[in-house]
Structure 1
Amino acid sequence: MHDTYPRFLEEELDEITPEEALFHVIPVPLEQTVSYGGGTGKGPSAILRASSQLELYDGVSNPSEHGIWTAPPVETEGPLSDVVGRIKGVVERSFALGKLPVLLGGEHTVTVGALEACRAAFGEIGIVQIDAHADLRDTYEGTPYSHACVMRRACDMGHTVFQAGIRSLSLPEVAFRKSHPVHYLDARDIAKHGIPEQMLPDGFPERIWLTIDVDGLDASVMPATGTPEPGGITWYQCHEIIEKAVSGRRVAGFDVVELAPVKGLHFPDFTAARLVYDTMGFVSRSAIKESL
Structure 2
Amino acid sequence: MSIITPDRDLTLLDAPSNLGLRPPAPGTVPGCYKAPWALRNAGLVQRLDAKDAGALVPPRYVATWKPGDGVRNGPAIAAYARRLSGKVTEIRAAGGFPVLLGGDCSILLGPAVALRKAGRYGLAYVDAHSDFRHLGNSPHVGSAAGEDLALVTGRGDDYLTDIDGLRPYVRDEDVIVLGVRDEEDLRDFSDSGVAFIPGTDIDLDRAKEVLVRDELDGFWIHVDADVLDPSVLPAVDSPTPGGLDAAQLTELLRGLLALPGAAGLEVTILDPDLDEDGSQAALLADILVQALA
TM-score interval, normalised by the smaller of the two chains: 0.7 to 0.9
1:164 and 1:184 in contact (8 A); partners too: yes
Give the 3 Å change call, closer, same or farther, for CA 264–197 of structure 1 in structure 2.
closer
Distance in 1 between the 2:87 and 2:143 partners?
Answer: 18
2:108 and 2:148 in contact (8 A); partners too: yes
How many residues of Structure 1 are paired with residues of Structure 2 in the alignment? 244
The question of 1:236 aligning with 2:247 is answered yes
Q: CA deviation at 1:104?
A: 0.3
User: Pairwise CA RMSD of aligned residues?
Assistant: 2.6
The question of 1:149 aligning with 2:163 is answered no
The TM-score, its normalising length taken from structure 1, stands at 0.75
Structure 2: which 5+ residue stretches go unaligned? 1-6, 25-29, 61-75, 155-167
Structure 1: which 5+ residue stretches go unaligned? 1-19, 57-62, 282-292
Post-superposition Cα deviations, 1:253-276, rounded to whole Å, max 9, x if no partner, equal 001110101353221111122233
Identical pairs, percent: 23
Q: CA deviation at 1:278?
A: 2.3
Distance in 2 between the 1:97 and 1:144 partners?
Answer: 36
Distance in 1 between the 2:130 and 2:283 partners?
Answer: 23
Q: Counterpart in 1 of 2:290?
A: 278
Q: CA deviation at 1:106?
A: 0.5
1:88 to 80, 85, 89: 85
Q: CA deviation at 1:169?
A: 5.6
1:89-168 equivalences under 5 Å are 89-121=86-118, 123-138=119-134, 146-156=144-154, 157=168, 158-159=170-171, 160-168=174-182
Q: CA deviation at 1:279?
A: 2.8
Give the 3 Å change call, closer, same or farther, for CA 216–141 of structure 1 in structure 2.
farther
The question of 1:30 aligning with 2:41 is answered no
Distance in 2 between the 1:23 and 1:211 partners?
Answer: 16
1:1-80 equivalences under 5 Å are 22-35=9-22, 37=24, 38-51=30-43, 56=47, 64=49, 68-78=50-60, 79-80=76-77
Q: CA deviation at 1:208?
A: 1.4
1:211 and 1:254 in contact (8 A); partners too: yes
Give the 3 Å change call, closer, same or farther, for CA 97–201 of structure 1 in structure 2.
closer
Give the 3 Å change call, closer, same or farther, for CA 55–256 of structure 1 in structure 2.
same
Q: Return the letter of the residue paired with 1:180.
A: S
The TM-score, its normalising length taken from structure 2, stands at 0.75
Q: Return the letter of the residue paired with 1:232.
A: G
Q: Counterpart in 1 of 2:212?
A: 205
Equivalent residue of 1:118, what SS? helix
Post-superposition Cα deviations, 1:54-113, rounded to whole Å, max 9, x if no partner, equal 984xxxxxx53xxx1112211201511111111111101112112111000001111111
Q: Return the letter of the residue paired with 1:23.
A: L
The question of 1:215 aligning with 2:226 is answered yes
